[in-house]
Amino acid sequence: MPLMRISISLVVFAALSSAAFGQQDHSSTAASTRTYQKNIGGYVQRAAEKVGEADYAFKATPEVRSLGQLIGHIADANNNYCAAAMGEANPNPGIEKSKTSKADLTAALKASLDYCGKAYDALTNENGNLMMKFRNAERSKLSLLMFNTIHMNEHYGNIVTYMRLKGMTPPSSER
């Protein structure tokens, strides 16, 4: 009987949690993947907009990318992974190496997130297992898009550190 109470409690907790976070659709793998990408992409975009132009050249140490280069790198990766998932050529290569101003980098980031939105919106549980050529291997469409989100989240962590070093609150910590 105690096990049944625990099970019922977990079901009730899950239902209440789903209601509390109703704006997030986790009803399928594809839906969850879209939700996580939109959340992380939103944090990165808001961080890119929040940081001042002068801080785009900031490096935590001389050996690492500047904050602006991180934004460009994320935009490049978004375009690379999402183009591969859609079977297309990268629509805007070389952002990290060619753009330096806040205006150019935030515009390129937004364009990459919009472009990726098409790939994530087209993702279904049924087509997620389709194999796509990426670099020197075959990968599923789902794994390409999941890795893109993981990669973006990894670099959002770098951006958070840069923002904290500059005394700023990152978007994911704002209330």
Could you tell me which of 141, 146, 138 has the C-alpha nearest to residue 124? 141
pLDDT digits (tens, 9 = 90+) for 29-65: 999 999 999 999 999 999 999 999 999 999 999 999 9
Distances (CA, A) of 128 to 14, 33, 107, 137: 26, 10, 29, 16
pTM of the model: 0.84
CA torsion, points 82, 86, 89, 94, in degrees to nearest 10?
0
Q: Are 163 and 170 in contact (CB under 8 A)?
A: yes
In the chain, what are the domain boundaries? 30-173
The predicted pLDDT at position 2 comes to 46
- Angle value at C-alpha 42, between 103 and 66, nearest 5 degrees: 50
Residue ranges of the chain whose pLDDT lies below 70 = 1-26
Q: Kindly give, in sequence order, each residue whose CB lies less than 8 Å from that of residue 32, ignoring residues fewer than 6 positions away.
A: 25, 26
Topology, domain 30-173: Four Helix Bundle (Hemerythrin (Met), subunit A) (1.20.120)
The predicted pLDDT at position 19 comes to 37
Give residue for tokens 């194999």.
131
The predicted pLDDT at position 26 comes to 58
